């Protein structure tokens, strides 16, 4: 990176950090709002392993990079099995909240994971998962009647993170400092 791209690179990193903060806030608010054993299991069995896999892939640990498809398959099987168990065990209102929370958190993890990617396909995934997570989070918190949580905490961090990354990349692309692969 040349000296001209350092400010934009800082804003990309700041945007990625804000998306990570948004994910952490989402988990914390969900724990406070939905005091249910099912949600705690969701965090422990689905969300945390997915997040840890994303972190280990970002750190490029050899064992995880080489076997990433096997780990992704394992995580997918776990998510499907848990969803089947929940579907047959709980009422429809709890299932819909469970699915909204699970999808929103997994989309946020995916958005954060691909936030600094230079590949076009992964950049599209970053944008789509960020906007989808934002929409699902809005639906969830509006259904819970907590508009303040959305307006004050979750919306600004996620949208600002997305905006910082996209705008700084557009500036870098215009200056010729960034090329997507």
Q: Is residue 149 part of a domain?
A: yes
Q: Is residue 180 part of a domain?
A: no
**pLDDT of amino acid 61:** 73
Q: Is residue 102 part of a domain?
A: yes
- d(C-alpha 8, C-alpha 74), whole Å: 37
151 and 5 Cβ atoms separated by less than 8 Å: no
31 and 41 Cβ atoms separated by less than 8 Å: no
**155 lies in which domain range?**
3-175
Q: Is residue 148 part of a domain?
A: yes
pTM for this prediction: 0.83
Q: Is residue 181 part of a domain?
A: no
Q: What percent of the chain has a predicted confidence (pLDDT) above 70?
A: 92
- The burial class, CB within 10 Å (0-12 / 13-18 / 19+), for 144 is middle
**pLDDT of amino acid 161:** 92
Number of folded domains that form the chain: 1
45-64 per-position pLDDT tens digit: 788 888 888 888 888 877 77
124-173 per-position pLDDT tens digit: 888 988 888 888 887 777 777 777 767 777 788 889 999 999 998 888 88
Q: How far is CA 20 from CA 38, 143, 172, in A?
A: 23, 24, 23
**pLDDT of amino acid 1:** 45
Q: Is residue 171 part of a domain?
A: yes
């Amino acid at each position: 990176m040349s000296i001209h791209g350092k400010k934009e690179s800082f804003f990309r990193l700041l945007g990625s950090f804000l998306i990570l903060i948004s994910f952490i806030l989402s988990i914390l608010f969900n724990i406070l709002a939905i005091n249910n054993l099912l949600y705690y299991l969701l965090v422990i069995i689905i969300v945390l392993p997915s997040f840890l896999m994303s972190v280990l892939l970002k750190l490029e640990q050899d064992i995880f990079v080489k076997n990433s498809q096997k780990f992704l398959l394992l995580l997918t099987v776990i998510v499907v099995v848990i969803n089947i168990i929940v579907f047959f065990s709980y009422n429809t209102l709890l299932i819909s909240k469970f699915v909204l929370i699970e999808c929103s958190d997994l989309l946020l993890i995916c958005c954060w994971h691909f936030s600094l990617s230079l590949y076009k396909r992964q950049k599209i995934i970053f944008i789509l998962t960020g906007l989808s997570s934002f929409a699902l989070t809005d639906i969830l918190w509006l259904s819970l009647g907590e508009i303040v949580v959305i307006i004050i905490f979750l919306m600004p961090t996620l949208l600002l993170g997305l905006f910082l990354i996209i705008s700084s990349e557009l500036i870098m692309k215009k200056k010729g400092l960034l090329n997507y692969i």
